[in-house]
Amino acid sequence: MPDQSTDTTSRGAITRRRLLGTAGATGLALGAAGGAAGYAAAPAATTAPLTSLGADRAMFHGKHQPGITDALQARGHLVAFDLAAGAGRKEAAALLRRWSTTAERLMAGEPAAHDDTDVARDAGPSSLTITFGFGHSFFSRTGLEKQRPDALDPLPDFSSDHLDKSRSDGDLWVQIGANDALVAFHALRAIQKDAGGAARLRWQMNGFNRSPGATAHPMTARNLMGQVDGTHNPKPTDADFDQRIFVPASGDPAWMAHGSYAVVRRIRMLLDDWEKLSPKAQEEVIGRRKSDGAPLSGGTETTEMDLEKTGADGKLVVPINAHARITRPDQNGGAAMLRRPFSYHDGFDADGTPDAGLLFICWQADPLRGFVPVQRKLDRGDALSQFIRHEASGLFAVPGGAAQGEYVGQRLLEG
């Protein structure tokens, strides 16, 4: 899991919390390269009465879209749409305007402007965030090919891929997160209804994380393999955080200023095989202790990993193919991404195999310098790769936040 943890604070008017961590590991480095360990730090902070969760509010308007540096939420939905036949730039602009209006209202704890379902009538904002992005195909369908960023070129093929094309890519992508399941579902239905005749649903994925206040003290989250996930996520306090995660104000194309690129991967964890390993064997696959996330070379979770340390048998304490070793930024030319995943469980296959794993989401200013080099490295020999399978993939350009009076993507669609 690309081993990176993030402590962030809620934005603006949100109740300030010390986050347990924002993002998942590089996808186990799952997302990133094949590792199933896409770990994300826990969403919460100081333990608080559950009744306070509904009052937490994220801001819709801002320099960046919500749902990127905000704390991980307990519930999430990822949805992709394709524009309907005959729909083009005009219809897309009207849709983004509707979606932005709905997102602003729901994130403030207000009902949708039209035909609200009342599903969230009794709830507050519950840290709801709604984030919008554009896929590669969106630009040809709207006649905006000249505005398509080079960074949105299709991802290369990886040997660990077993991709279902029907659950990959899409013209438009929406990420929904909230600390209350009904609030998240309410937002999902509102977004789907707003699509109307302009766009049709391509795929939908549902995820979850640990709820705020579920642990006795703040700690990094665990994934479905039971591993601490998100120890070395980039932190907003890092001097180069914005440079690595967001497109600069002077970026190209101009409409992507302050935006980011999201790589989305559905990574199944082969839990039956994983759980047959002894705890010691699992730790050697990851390179960290399962109990507290500390490196096998010793120390605490945040102790720098000693890649050269050997045991009494003369062997490296952190195996050469350990996931945490391979995904380290200093082993990948400094490549880094902000991992912010959700776990998922979609039932069982006919043979009883659990369909569960990680909805890996990582953010970076340029996927060719963030996700791709790490995934390539994982593809060549990550011990975790035999216990995970990448089943769906998408890459989306997520523009900067909308200013007051603007809708998301306005600078692209009306520029």
- Catalytic residue list: 229
Distance between CA atoms of residues 241 and 69, nearest Å? 11
Q: Residue-wise over 316-331: b if at least 16 C-beta within 10 A, else e?
A: bbbbebbbbbbbbbee
Which residues, listed in sequence order, are joined to residue 199 by a DSSP beta bridge? 83
Q: Are residues 197 and 80 in contact, defined by beta-carbon separation less than 8 angstroms?
A: no
CA dihedral 150→200→64→215, nearest 10 degrees, is -120
The one-character DSSP state at 297 is: T
Distance between CA atoms of residues 261 and 238, nearest Å? 19
Q: Residue-wise over 202-220: b if at least 16 C-beta within 10 A, else e?
A: bbebbbbbbbbbeeeebbb
Pairs from 84-87 (Cβ < 8 Å, separation ≥ 24): 84/197, 84/198, 84/199, 84/200, 87/141, 87/197, 87/198, 87/199
- Structure token digits, residue 370: 């963030």
| C-alpha pair distances (Å), 180 with each of 208, 242, 304 | 10, 29, 36
CA atoms within 13 A on the CB side of 210: 30
Single-letter residue type at 109: G
| C-alpha pair distances (Å), 63 with each of 3, 74, 270, 363, 408 | 27, 24, 39, 16, 11
- Structure token digits, residue 319: 């195996």
Distance between CA atoms of residues 34 and 217, nearest Å? 31
Distance between CA atoms of residues 298 and 16, nearest Å? 33
Q: Which residue has the tokens 């390179």?
A: 287
Which sign, positive or negative, has the C-alpha torsion 290, 295, 296, 298? negative
The one-character DSSP state at 385 is: G
Distance between CA atoms of residues 41 and 21, nearest Å? 4
